[in-house]
Amino acid sequence: MSRSRWPICQALTRLLVAGLCLAALVGWTAASVADTPPLGATPNAQGTTFRVWAPFVQAVAVKINGGNPVALSKEPGHADNDAVWAGNVPGAKPADTYRYSIQCGGQTKEFVDPRSQQLTGIDANASSVIVAPTFDMPAFDPPKPNQLVIYELHVGTFNRGSTGGKYNFAGTAEKLDYLNRLNVNAIELMPVHENSEPADRNPRDYNWGYDATQLFAVKAAYGTPLEFKQFVKRCHEKKIAVILDVVYNHLCNGNLLINFGGFTLPQLSDGIYFYGDARQNAADYGPRPDFGRAQVRQYIADNAQMWLRDYGIDGLRVDSTVNIRAYQTNNQSHDIAEGDQLLRETNGACHAIGHGKLTIAEDLQSWGDIVTPTSYAGGFGFDSQWDQDLYYALRRAVTKVNDADRDLNAIKAAIEKQFGNNVFSRVTFTENHDKVGHPNTSDPENNEIRLPSLIDVNNHESIFAKKRSTLAAAIMLTAPGIPMLFQGQEMLETRVFDFHNATPMDWTLADRKFPGIVQMYRDLIALRRNLGGKTAGLSGQSRNVFHLDDGNKTLAYHRWSTGGPGDDVVVVVNLSNQPIPSLNIGFPRGGKWVVRFNSGAKVYDPSFDNGDSFDTTANPGPKDNLNFNGNVGIGPYSVVILSQD
């Protein structure tokens, strides 16, 4: 879209002539004294205090409910490049709308508040809404990382609420009991900030959310800020933690921060919040924030803290951190040092809140520094990061037509992988929103659709699609890492999660068509979380892939925490179409081992057989570099889990 070029403020022109560099703006503190309200609109007993960062402008006023402008004053002690304008407006109260009226270069324009938590729209005619800051959010202790099982969901397609028939926070809340029964203890929400709504999408409020128009405002189609807080509270009451996707590497083209205050330059074409050089565009998604400005970094860090502190969110998953750390020109990658600084500062701000707040990076570069504490040189301070090695190893193995082509060594390497000394510093998955929403039939290796649909392209619901997709999920849920499901995976959803048109959840799959598959996931997650008290090792730091037979395509691994009965777990995998009535493998301890799970059991699907799985006794005698051995029965394309009482 074309953008008007406003006259440059005289004060800025003088600074530029003097040769000062905007990239070296002086740092600032949002509240210089304890009683100074934060930037944004803060209601109080006398009205509402407004504070806004607006450098290089001549005057700032606020208009309440479209009324006459009320002038704000420039706070003392700020240079032009750090100007904060503030004032208290008597009578201004929550639910009132407001816009900033800013004079720059002899022109006056109106803008929404960059920090407003609620907007009346997402275009230039939108107004900000004053939001009451108080809410009774009870204390909540989220699960430790080694206990987490995450369920990623999209509020815009998850559940149509019984009141109003909308996909919103209230509708999603109606399915919390279902998630409880599934045994997941954390949900990861795709972004809930206001985002652009392209006209070609149906419906227009269905958006994945990664193209933000403003970072602080809750998406109105999902609900108000209060309704989002109520949703988080309900999740906590159900003992479900809430992780939120946030997007700091770019905003959408036409976002509400562009040219804020009226300040534009050819070399800073989108205004004070964005880069004006080759770093401007983040992979063509939209303008990249200028991480070199302390005020912009503070804007982002304050946003992260707001979700964790004010909304009670338990963790943040930061989208595409690689595009914060670097940019591409002419197929070459260039570091953004101030992007590194932003990530470290934001992680520090989040962890300073305490209460087990978790930060997760979507970096996808397998770089250990991402999850190294900032107290170590080069560390970025994330608690965990999305990792694709297990995804690719399992995806390639279960989608091959011929058993001989399945690569067990790649699965073994992916199970054994870890960053540093913590196996839970990576999030693993067999499906996520990206991996089920980007069809690419011309490149089967990168055809990112639902896994059952890839396994059997002719019959997405065949026994092969069922058994091999659940086999992959069983490995993911028993391997080291923080396991994550994507909505519908547990009910054998085979439709593409369409980026251009809404793909709402089909709840009949769980209720009528594949209740057994849902039960399988429920049982697996219960074992992962040790809800029965017999599989504590699945949340332990230790693992040993002790058996790999490429001839019969069998794999076995040992998971443990402290070891012993109720802790040691042995997972056996058959990646062939042949039943194995008696497979002799090693065991870490002698005595009786009890089958806790068999993915080939008929209880999960009428087309399955029982796979000849049975309890076994491990006797002394070396096998697979272990001191005991025993026989295990396992069916085609199945996983069996054993432990001791």
Contact partners, residue 19, CB within 8 Å, separation at least 6: none
Residues 423, 570: one domain?
A: no
Residue 428 lies in a domain: yes
Residue labelled with tokens 């270069």? 105
Q: How far is CA 371 from CA 360, 380, 428, 543, 568, in A?
A: 9, 6, 15, 20, 27
pLDDT(9) > 70: no
Residues 509, 542: one domain?
A: no
Which two three-digit tokens encode residue 121?
């729209």
Q: How far is CA 456 from CA 59, 63, 396, 404, 473, in A?
A: 65, 60, 13, 17, 16
Higher pLDDT, 5 or 232: 232
Higher pLDDT, 522 or 34: 522
The count of structural domains within the chain is: 2
- pLDDT at 552 (0 to 100): 97
Mean of pLDDT values over 370-378: 96
Residue 62 lies in a domain: no
Residue 82 lies in a domain: no
Residues 443, 587: one domain?
A: no
Q: Tell me how crowded residue 292 is: count the other CB atoms within 10 A of its CB.
A: 20
pTM of the model: 0.93
- Could you report the per-residue pLDDT of 87-97, keeping only the tens digit for each? 999 999 999 99
Residues 405, 493: one domain?
A: yes
pLDDT(26) > 60: no
Which of the listed residues 465, 498, 528 is the one where a domain comes to its end? Answer: 528
Residue 93 lies in a domain: no
- Could you report the per-residue pLDDT of 413-445, keeping only the tens digit for each? 999 999 999 999 999 999 999 999 999 988 888
- pLDDT at 33 (0 to 100): 42
449 phi-psi bin (left φ>0, alpha ψ -120 to 50, beta other): beta
Determine the Cα–Cα distance for residues 460 and 453; give it in Å rounded to an integer: 5
CATH classification at residue 512: 3.20.20.80
Which of the listed residues 477, 495, 528 is the one where a domain comes to its end? Answer: 528
Residues 469, 406: one domain?
A: yes
The kind and range of the H/E element at 62 are strand 59-64
Residues 412, 336: one domain?
A: yes
Residues 506, 593: one domain?
A: no
Which of the listed residues 477, 502, 528 is the one where a domain comes to its end? Answer: 528
Mean of pLDDT values over 96-111: 95
Residues 460, 550: one domain?
A: no
Higher pLDDT, 329 or 324: 324
Residues 398, 498: one domain?
A: yes
Residues 470, 550: one domain?
A: no
Percent of the chain with pLDDT strictly greater than 70: 93
Residues 489, 613: one domain?
A: no
Residue 608 is part of which domain span? 536-643
Residue 264 lies in a domain: no
Which alpha helices (DSSP H) does 68-162 contain, by range? 155-158
Residue 242 lies in a domain: yes
Contact partners, residue 80, CB within 8 Å, separation at least 6: 11, 12, 15, 55, 56
Q: What is the largest CA-CA distance in the chain?
A: 89
Residues 522, 561: one domain?
A: no
Q: How confident is the model at residue 283 (pLDDT cuts 50, 70, 90)?
A: low
Residue 137 lies in a domain: no
What's the chain's average pLDDT?
Answer: 92
pLDDT(13) > 50: no
